[in-house]
Structure 1
Amino acid sequence: MVIGHPANSGLAVDINPASAVARQAALQGEHAVIRYAGGDVTYAELDRRAAQLASVLAAGGVATGDRVAYLGLNSPAFILTMLASWRLGAVFVPVNFRLAEPELRSVLERSGAVTIIAEEGHRLAVDAVRQSTALHRFLLVDDDPEVPAPDPAPQGWEPWSSAIDRAPVHVEVLARTADDPAVLMFTSGTTGSPKGVVITYGNAWWNSVNVDLRMDTRRGDVTHAAAPLFHIGALNSFAIRTLSRGGTLVLRRGFDPDGLLRDIEEFGVNSMFAVPAMLLGLSRVPGVFDADLSSLRAVVVAGAPVPPSLIEQFAQHGVLLEQAWGLTETAPFATHLPRERTLTKLGSAGVAMPYTEVRVVDAATGAPLPAGAAGEVVVRGPNVTPGYWENPEATKAAFDDEGWFHSGDIGYVDEDGCLYIVDRLKDMIISGGENVYPAEVERALADMPGVADVAVVGRLDPEWGETVVAVVSLVPDSQVTLDDVREHAAARLARYKLPRHLHVTAQLPRNASGKLEKNKVRDMIAHSATETVTT
């Protein structure tokens, strides 16, 4: 008798979400899978259109392993392109729609994408870089009322609606297993050039297992998706698993706090991924806490430090925010704070996901550190990327010999195993020989009256080596001085951590995932006047 034969182990099972959508179409074809301002979509319609688009892509030469890019905001076209690519075994490349021309050129070149599907608002950006890429087919989304497109399509572009309408249904869905690449997602690049992260079907699947074991998620859930889907947090927290499990995705092109409240009340939203700025915006909608928010069961907030005051405010009104931590490379969650610990472990990013290992190590030696000691957070598990696209040097630098992925984040674990993220390793400020973590200072200032947003960076100083600079944007009709900032922070921070400079700006630079772009913040203050402490 053969024990553990691969055919019986489950290792070869098909975990392609496109297969799951096809099954849902057969089971509940008329059920709405997408709620969208431009028109709702049923499972039957989604599966059929994805099958036809797969035929269109295949007729254009797209084969297993080829890359298909999408450039546009959240829409059914994004979902269709992803599913059609997966039906063929192609790798889906969701492109950040906020990239500048040099960044867009780099992403399209390095991905090696052969076909791109784009919305009209991004067509000219693609035209500006197309000659330096491997792209040879250009499809323009022309059937979305939210994004009017020219008729006829401009030279060099095909209207995708007519191509899909003429195409036969590509019935077969190529079976995909754990190690097959599903998504090529470029990191946000807040500290340097973006790297292409390979997300396998196994990475996505194991994250779904972790989510379903830890959070209150159910079949048929209504998920809200307003954060950009080109970001792993929005795409793989709930969106993909919602499609696979027969739920409904309330899909919005962008975030509107008033619209979010309406959607929660109208559709009974159960789950959503948000960055802190989104929930802060929701908290400021008049009457939000008089509304019925009882449908919300799994609200995960990540991507940036969460002000404790915001967590407490929502908790007072029955909504327990669930903090999580992870990166594109962890697809996305490595840790999660269960809702029953929301208030008792305020500020923690939680414990390791069920099938993910997390530890804190000495950044120089890699040796594990005891509870309470700050060091680099490392992760290992089936949800962790196998590496960076065609970049063996970066892959080797990110993984140690035991397979631990080094995140570049500094944190510590308490006696209960709860992780607290302190800051990015590269952002740490050394002032007068003392380590100052900007994120700690940012948290201390996040609930300051009059301050809408805050970033903290270091500035070279001949006496101290570096000094702490607070960069803030203000709520309308507010004024804040450096003395105000220092006085507010002094209640929570040691004196050496207090900002010695203050810069006020209209808006802080954040990328589409809500992360502060610290390089741009440093550039902002490099040649500008700041208010300086005189004490």
Structure 2
Amino acid sequence: MYIGDYLGRRTIYSPDALAVVDTGKTPELRLSFAQLNERANRLANALRAAGVDKGDRVAMLALDGVEHLDLLCACGKLGAIHTALNWRLHWRELQQILADVTPTVLLYDDTFRESVAQLAEAETPVRHWIHLDGAGISGSRDFNALLADSSPDACFREDLRDEDIAAIVFTGGTTGLPKGAQISHRQIAWNCLNTVIHDLGRGDVYLNVFPMFHVGGLFVYTLPQVIMGGTTVLLKRFDPDQVLRLIQRERVTVFAAVPAMYQMLAQTPAWAEADLSSLRFCTSGGAPLPVPLVEQYTRDKGVRFKQGFGMTEFGPGLFALAPEDAIRKAGSIGRPNFYIDARIVGPDNRPLGPNETGELVLKGPSIASGYFNNAAAWGEVIDEDGWFHTGDLARYDEDWYFFIVDRLKDMFISGGENVYPAEIEAALYRHPAVFQCAVVGVPDPKWGEIGKAFVVLKPDQTASAEALLAHLGDRLARYKIPRHVEFLTALPISAAGKVLRRELRER
């Protein structure tokens, strides 16, 4: 069952259709599926000449660009494994990851030349360095020259099977080094099917703002768009003004982001004049989308929101909340997608009923194939019945809509009571002056832990700590109300747009 040559198959069906618009290039790069397939063939032949074979890892350290798709699809043809690295990590952390996954080839862009130079001088398994732009380090080969010198002939493994690994995608690494989830071709196919059922269609134009070293960047819509024959618009890094311009210029129909990004879009001066009429819907994930923000997008721009939930180990398309439920079921991640089974269980793995809070566990064919070189860690999250334990506290209501209460590790206990930061943050977002917020538990000699809120105010608004605490006092039980409020100019945000709570705790 050969399913790895996504671009080869798409080139048969729609060779001249626009596949990618890479706005990070000067001039911008607009590629058809036939052109994108030729690039992947040339890269696959070049990698094979460098000794890359089935099962070998090929690493990439780069901001978003078409080269991520070039490598993913070239690896798919060879049966090799695309391994994108988190460019936020220190080079010594990257060195440890390289020692674990042992790639012999590393592609990188000029932004990270200094880190790559450090890696090249250190001990790593990398033997071939390929720079995507700039001059590169000593001994590095130029990517575009490499493509030009390589054969465009079709290059693929006919013995590829659905359980072969297509990519290693690293988890967020909130404690210690991130774990590498093994993404099989089987997982990619099932994720695409869930995405199509989720309402991706022929002719869609998708703007990607997620970093492509995450499942959000590669697998939320980008690769399903290749399989479906749609267009994907890429930009190097999230920029609110550029995003609004591109939605209008490229007539984008599908857009996805995390709540922090949606907040920044609505705050930029370009928001007032932005034309978002081409959008069929926007998808939000990563955290609950504040209801006032949903109302603002609907009021100002007529945007319909889908909300969802995903994770590295199980694919991005796990749950979906339809636009008509955005207000009625505010805070919900929706219902499980068609080929996903979900339960809420207690500490003894006993399934819980409606409105009981426990851990969310999952089962289905879009699950990853374990952690690379870490069977012990995988064994800790898969129980004897095959359920994947997410580490998320959740509940579902009588209509089978699921709600994430919080992360197990984010919950804190104050005076013997469980406190869920997400609940407090949802209440804070109802204050008109709050732009962004995060609540963490901090040690307290009397209560064990108490809450501390970090708040970013809207540029044109003011509010005191006392006013915010009074606002919470009208909505929450006393034990849930933080004892301290600290105002910041910005929250620490990860490359995926999520709040880095560990940095707040370290403060």
TM-score of the pair, normalised by structure 2: 0.95
Secondary structure, aligned partner of 1:430: strand
| AA at the equivalent of 1:214 | H
Secondary structure, aligned partner of 1:427: coil
Structure 2 equivalent of residue 531 of structure 1: none
Contact between 1:444 and 1:492, CA under 8 Å: does it hold in 2? yes
> Is 1:259 matched with 2:246?
no
In 1, Cα distance between the equivalents of 2:106 and 2:60? Answer: 6
| AA at the equivalent of 1:67 | R
> Is 1:338 matched with 2:328?
no
Mean alpha-carbon deviation: is it higher for 109-118 or for 353-362? 109-118
Contact between 1:191 and 1:517, CA under 8 Å: does it hold in 2? no
Q: Displacement of 1:289 after TM fit?
A: 6.0
| AA at the equivalent of 1:86 | G
* Equivalent of residue 67 in structure 1, options 51, 57, 69: 57
Secondary structure, aligned partner of 1:324: strand
Contact between 1:450 and 1:480, CA under 8 Å: does it hold in 2? yes
Structure 1 equivalent of residue 187 of structure 2: 203
Q: Deviations over 1:279-337 (max 9, x none)?
A: 11222244646644232123211112321211222233421211111211111222111
Structure 1 equivalent of residue 169 of structure 2: 185
Structure 2 equivalent of residue 324 of structure 1: 308
Contact between 1:191 and 1:519, CA under 8 Å: does it hold in 2? no
| AA at the equivalent of 2:343 | R
Going from structure 1 to structure 2, the CA distance change for 1:337 and 1:164 (only over 3 Å counts) comes to same
Going from structure 1 to structure 2, the CA distance change for 1:257 and 1:447 (only over 3 Å counts) comes to farther
> Is 1:164 matched with 2:155?
no
Q: Deviations over 1:196-248 (max 9, x none)?
A: 11111111111111111132x21121110122111112321110011122111
* Equivalent of residue 375 in structure 2, options 359, 369, 392: 392
> Is 1:136 matched with 2:117?
no
Q: Displacement of 1:70 after TM fit?
A: 0.9
* Equivalent of residue 58 in structure 1, options 48, 54, 57: 48
In 2, Cα distance between the equivalents of 1:338 and 1:66? Answer: 40
Contact between 1:238 and 1:272, CA under 8 Å: does it hold in 2? no
In 2, Cα distance between the equivalents of 1:109 and 1:473? Answer: 40
Q: Displacement of 1:90 after TM fit?
A: 0.4
| AA at the equivalent of 2:374 | N
Structure 2 equivalent of residue 21 of structure 1: 7
In 2, Cα distance between the equivalents of 1:372 and 1:319? Answer: 30
Alignment of 1:91-110 (within 5 A): 91-110=81-100
> Is 1:122 matched with 2:106?
no
In 2, Cα distance between the equivalents of 1:292 and 1:120? Answer: 34
In 2, Cα distance between the equivalents of 1:107 and 1:265? Answer: 40
Structure 2 equivalent of residue 497 of structure 1: 480
Contact between 2:210 and 2:217, CA under 8 Å: does it hold in 1? yes
- CA root-mean-square deviation: 1.7
Query: How many residue pairs align between the two structures?
Result: 500
Question: Which consecutive residues of structure 1, in runs of 5 or more, have no partner in the other structure?
Answer: 1-12, 143-148, 525-535
> Is 1:32 matched with 2:23?
no
Mean alpha-carbon deviation: is it higher for 196-205 or for 396-405? 196-205
Secondary structure, aligned partner of 2:409: helix
Contact between 2:260 and 2:497, CA under 8 Å: does it hold in 1? yes
Structure 2 equivalent of residue 355 of structure 1: 339
Contact between 2:6 and 2:73, CA under 8 Å: does it hold in 1? no
| AA at the equivalent of 2:72 | M
Contact between 1:20 and 1:245, CA under 8 Å: does it hold in 2? no
Secondary structure, aligned partner of 2:6: helix
TM-score of the pair, normalised by structure 1: 0.90
In 1, Cα distance between the equivalents of 2:381 and 2:447? Answer: 32
Secondary structure, aligned partner of 2:456: strand
In 2, Cα distance between the equivalents of 1:491 and 1:177? Answer: 58
| AA at the equivalent of 1:337 | L
Secondary structure, aligned partner of 1:49: helix
Secondary structure, aligned partner of 2:93: helix
> Is 1:485 matched with 2:473?
no
Going from structure 1 to structure 2, the CA distance change for 1:352 and 1:111 (only over 3 Å counts) comes to same
In 1, Cα distance between the equivalents of 2:130 and 2:410? Answer: 41
Alignment of 1:199-348 (within 5 A): 199-215=183-199, 217-286=200-269, 288=271, 291-316=274-299, 317-348=301-332
| AA at the equivalent of 1:138 | W
Structure 2 equivalent of residue 146 of structure 1: none
Q: Deviations over 1:31-79 (max 9, x none)?
A: 2211122221222211111101111101111000000111111111121
Secondary structure, aligned partner of 2:207: strand
In 1, Cα distance between the equivalents of 2:274 and 2:495? Answer: 28
> Is 1:441 matched with 2:424?
yes
Structure 1 equivalent of residue 442 of structure 2: 459
> Is 1:85 matched with 2:75?
yes
Q: Deviations over 1:411-443 (max 9, x none)?
A: 100001000001100111111111100111111
